[in-house]
Structure 1
């Protein structure tokens, strides 16, 4: 209703300008301006986050333009499950029914699952539970950075995470308990999950994967090369959400960067990453995921926040959420 009123007021203003200026082109310019403005203002962005030492819980950032971020006050969900009761790498998506689904890292080592909870408004949450996704692989060292992706065509959720299974892959320069690979599982209801399978093996330790869909058969996998001489962000391309993916690209971020998250503004993609040795966020901009522009000095992220994922939400929802957190 509020959007309709805004459109009506904009039309009245346009007609007023038209008759006062008596220039037919003014109406066209006004209408086009109105359409572009309402289109651009339809969505805002939320960025899931946490603060070290990760025992407080889910925090949220918001942005109107994708470049400038502000903190929403308070903790939205305090971790209650897992051996250490921590919440790292929170990843969240909104399903077609409007429900938000959240997954997170439970522990550094010694666990076979990730945390899960859901919410309709990000204020009231379901009971938290552990998804023991790697319980069939008892030698698994860890389950890190679960990332959610909704597959519209299949009407299900893809979960991608990193795990180390000692002596399963060529050791390389990493220790056996730090030689990660990316795995995946599929679920429709977050109650039943497919058996974990290898998602992507670039030939070296890799973590922190996020998936971008550009077309029906056009996907980009953005992830961290976790080998000690790299510790940076790379990409690979595939024709399906499940791959197979190409060989990885060269790094497009500085060393000691992790936790990439991607948002789209118009025809450009912004890739945020946690530049952890610098204690800040970095960002890159691209149109094709082959050529990247460093825009770190053009973005604003409040200090103290650590990496999660970015998702679009309606401005109406964001305004309601902000009102509830005042």
Structure 2
């Protein structure tokens, strides 16, 4: 076979694989009252809102019925599982599932911290599947006054968050919440993914006095920990929150909300360092803290534009 024909076949095959999946980004707008928004991208940099940037799902869980900080993953059961923040002050989170991102199950109000009567909140839950345990880990940030001395005077309005988790196999029974990570300071907004033979956590240093408000990285051999923080912050001289990440080969694209600047940012993280590529990023107007994930083209083609 001629060399040019072989190269052409290789190119066509790579293109077919690349076009077989699409990146999605689920997010909220304003205070989260109108529910779930989504955008799509083919390259991870240019994102276009779906459904005319109108809500795809109205929130019903919790007393305040918000849908902030949505996180969606597709499990081995082929269902899409979503968790979200239902309130600023409740000790619960929201959960729902869908086979196609269009039709959703009845929304659950999951009382993950009801056993802690002084807990102030449950913010920014995320969900990760653990193939070793064949179960899902849901994790979030909560402040329990007096529980941790470190950072007790450094937060906003006496918030001093740590990261907690629960485990479930069927989204009917949930284990009692346990502490996931205490880096020794106020922290929120964790997102965890598999990274080779270990797990990587991107999270926010929520210290207000003196201000940090940046994103850090920690690693663990086990999904439930122990996590060890490495290196310096991966974000710059601005306030960042709500990290979410996509991986391609040996590169992480870590997206985050530059919430004081009312815009989104992205850094490219490789073994040789971190590079800010926010100038290349195009996101829908008004996008707030969300999560990125990949779907098949068949699923994407059914979604409303």
TM bucket by the smaller chain?
A: over 0.9
TM-score (norm 1): 0.88
1:267 aligns with 2:250: yes
Query: Are the counterparts in 2 of residues 182 and 207 from structure 1 also a CA contact under 8 Å?
Result: yes
1:233 alignment partner in structure 2? 215
Separation of aligned partners in 1, 2:201 and 2:118: 27
Question: Does the 8 Å CA contact 2:216/2:229 hold for their aligned counterparts?
Answer: no
Whether the 8 Å CA contact 1:158–1:184 is kept in 2: the answer is yes
**Higher RCO by CA contacts (8 Å cutoff, separation 6 or greater):** 2
Contact 1:66 1:265 in 2 (8 A): no
Matched positions, count: 298
Q: Distance in 1 between matches of 2:103 and 2:17?
A: 30
Q: 2:80 aligns with which of 100, 110, 114?
A: 100
Instruction: List, as ranges, runs of 4+ consecutive aligned residues in structure 1 with deviation greater than 6 Å.
Output: none
Could you say which residue in structure 2 is the equivalent of 1:285?
Answer: 268
Q: Which has the higher helix share?
A: 1
SS at match of 1:309: strand
- Which sections of structure 1, spanning at least 5 residues, go unmatched? 1-17, 19-23
CA offset at residue 185 of structure 1? Answer: 0.8
**Does residue 285 of structure 2 align to residue 309 of structure 1?**
no
What is the TM-score when the length of structure 2 is the normalising length? 0.94
Tell me, in whole angstroms, the C-alpha distance in 2 between the residues paired with 1:176 and 1:203: 18
| TM-aligned CA deviation for residue 172 of structure 1 | 4.2
* Residues in 1 aligned to 2:91 and 2:160: alpha-carbon distance in whole angstroms: 16
Q: Distance in 2 between matches of 1:186 and 1:242?
A: 10
1:219 aligns with 2:202: no
- Unpaired runs of 5+ residues, structure 2, are none
| Per-residue deviation, residues 31-82 of structure 1 (Å, max 9, x unmatched) | 2112211122221111111100210000001111111100001211101121
Q: Which has the larger radius of gyration?
A: 1
| Aligned residue number for residue 160 of structure 1 | 139
Partner SS, residue 279 of structure 2: helix
Partner Cα separation in structure 2 for residue 197 and residue 72 of structure 1: 37
Give the whole-Å Cα distance in 2 for the aligned partners of 1:241 and 1:42: 29
**SS, match of residue 223 in structure 1:** strand
